[in-house]
Amino acid sequence: MNPVMPTMPGHLLEVDDLRVEFRTRDGVAHVLNGVSYHLDPGETLAVLGESGSGKSVTAQAIMGILDTPPGYVTGGQIRYRGRDLLRLPESERRQVRGKEIGMIFQDALSALNPVFTVGYQIAETLRTREGMSKSDALGRAVELMDLVKIPGARQRVKDYPHQFSGGMRQRVMIAMSLAQRPKVLIADEPTTALDVTVQAQIMDLLGDLRRELDMAMILITHDLGVVADVADRIAVMYAGRIVEHADVRALYKSPGHPYTKGLLASIPRLDMKGTELATIKGLPPNLTRIPSGCPFHPRCPYARDVCRSVFPPDIPLGADRFSECHFAKEVVDGRLS
């Protein structure tokens, strides 16, 4: 458990020391190794990481849609309004899924069923979960499509997913997730597959919806630009753990973990040109064989002996801020070479 963030009663959603394994024929992959973060009403938490960091798996575990097998939750709790979702029977879990916590995915085309109209799909949860009549549910579907600013919603409610463009399909998926007015929305790479102009539209829409519906959001992404725009707090994930957690401004201004530092340095900036890009050498670790000590040490330009042998503790760097690095304070101050 993280010493800096004690269990405060009243966190809307809290992931506590979550551990997940994937049992594959090449061995056991330790995908999540003690992930903890929390979300309060109305805020946006960005979970930042690259492939293999475990960011999507955490979201799937929260929603209860983890592929089992090969994935198994082996420890930790996921508390929503104080109740541990992992200990709930499936029937109660289903109450939470969709109604309290909604999710949108990266690829709207595969998340939508091509043989049903979008109106039917949006209305589906309303019919089955809230017992609305078909016409009532369809009316509500039109309302939702208006809410997500799909033009001509009344006519388009009868269209099929393939008749929409990528951005519009994403809006349909957002409408579906909002049908039951969840308090938390998990957005797993919602704009990665979209063009940049459409991305801006969708992120704007999500911001507006959050305010209108007083929703909290977990934004899972690898895009540092999008995060800078919308997030309140950021949790940086690497090899199945949160290696840094900070307020968004503090993180970008002075990152406290070498991985975050490396990520920020390696993105080509629209406003900086002409220099060779700084890189993080090497590759993300094989999760069946996570390196000893600090998992980042093979790629860390500041690695010392202690990093290779001792797992780094969570070093507090201020209010609600920590970094999992032996030399976090030096990194933040920029005193490390």
Partner 1 sequence: MSELETIVLSEGSSSAGVPGGDGGGKPRSLAGDAWRDLRRNPVFWVAGLLVLIFLVMAVAPRVYTSISPTACDLSDSQLPPSAQHWFGTDIQGCDVYAHTVYGARASILVGVLSTLLAGVLALAVGMAAGFYGGWVDAILARILDIVLGIPLLLAAIVFSRSFGTRNIGIWPVVGVLGILGWTTAARVVRASVITAKQQDYVQAARMLGASNGRIMIRHILPNAIAPVTVVLTIALGVFISTEATLSFLGAGLKPPTISWGIDISGAQGRFYQAPWPLLFPAGFLALTVLAFSMLGEAVREAFDPRLR
Partner 2 sequence: MVASREPAAGRHAAAEPVIRVEGLVKHFPITQGVVFRRQVGAVKAVDGVSFELRRGETLGVVGESGCGKSTLARLLMRLEKPTAGRAYFEGRDMFAMSGAELRDMRRKVQMVMQDPYTSLNPRMTVGDIIGEPYDIHPEVAPKGERRRAVQQLLDFVGLNPEHVNRYPHQFSGGQRQRIGIARALALRPSVIVCDEPVSALDVSIQAQVINLLERLQDQLGLSYIFIAHDLSVVRHISDRVAVMYLGKIVETGTEDEIYSRPTHPYTQALLSAVPVPDPEARGYRDIIRLEGDVPSPANPPSGCHFRTRCWKAQERCAVEEPPLALRRADPHPSACHFAGLREGAVV
Whole-number Å distance between alpha carbons of 258 and 246: 14
| Closer Cβ to partner 2, 278 or 306, answer by number | 278
Q: Side chain identity at 21, as an amino acid letter? A: E
CA 90-94-96 angle, to 5 degrees, is 120
Q: Side chain identity at 337, as an amino acid letter? A: S
Per CB under 8 A, contacts with partner 2 among 81-110 are none
| Closer Cβ to partner 2, 90 or 162, answer by number | 162
| Closer Cβ to partner 2, 277 or 306, answer by number | 277
> Can you say how many angstroms the Cα of residue 292 is from the centroid of all Cα atoms in its chain?
27
Residue that the structure tokens 């030096």 belong to: 330
Whole-number Å distance between alpha carbons of 218 and 148: 19
Per CB under 8 A, contacts with partner 2 among 165-194 are 165-168
Residue that the structure tokens 């993280």 belong to: 2
Choose the contact partner of 285 out of partner 2, partner 1, none; CB within 5 to 8 A by kind.
partner 1
| Closer Cβ to partner 2, 72 or 302, answer by number | 302
Strand, helix or coil for residue 237: strand
Choose the contact partner of 142 out of partner 1, partner 2, none; CB within 5 to 8 A by kind.
none
Per CB under 8 A, contacts with partner 2 among 294-323 are 301
Q: Pick from 274, 305, 335, 337: which binds partner 2 (CB under 8 A)?
A: 274
- Taking the complex as a whole, the smallest distance from the CB of residue 280 to partner 2 amounts, in Å, to 4
336 binds partner 2 (CB under 8 A): no
Whole-number Å distance between alpha carbons of 90 and 134: 26
Strand, helix or coil for residue 335: coil
Whole-number Å distance between alpha carbons of 330 and 337: 9
| Closer Cβ to partner 2, 115 or 270, answer by number | 270
228 binds partner 2 (CB under 8 A): yes
Per CB under 8 A, contacts with partner 2 among 24-83 are 50-51
**How many residues at the interface with partner 2, by CB under 8 A?**
49
- Taking the complex as a whole, the smallest distance from the CB of residue 239 to partner 1 amounts, in Å, to 7
Q: What are phi and psi of 224, to 5 degrees?
A: -70, -25
- Taking the complex as a whole, the smallest distance from the CB of residue 309 to partner 2 amounts, in Å, to 25
248 binds partner 2 (CB under 8 A): yes
The DSSP letter of residue 47 is E
Residue 251 neighbours by CB under 8 Å, 6+ apart: 234, 236, 244, 260
The sign of the torsion formed by the CA atoms of 326, 330, 334, 337 equals negative
Residues that bind partner 1 (CB under 8 A): 22, 24-26, 29, 31, 51-53, 70, 239, 279, 281-288, 291, 298-299
Residue 267 neighbours by CB under 8 Å, 6+ apart: 224, 225
Q: Which residues bind partner 2 (CB under 8 A)?
A: 50-51, 151, 165-168, 195-201, 203-204, 222-229, 231, 248-249, 252, 262-264, 266-271, 273-281, 283-284, 301
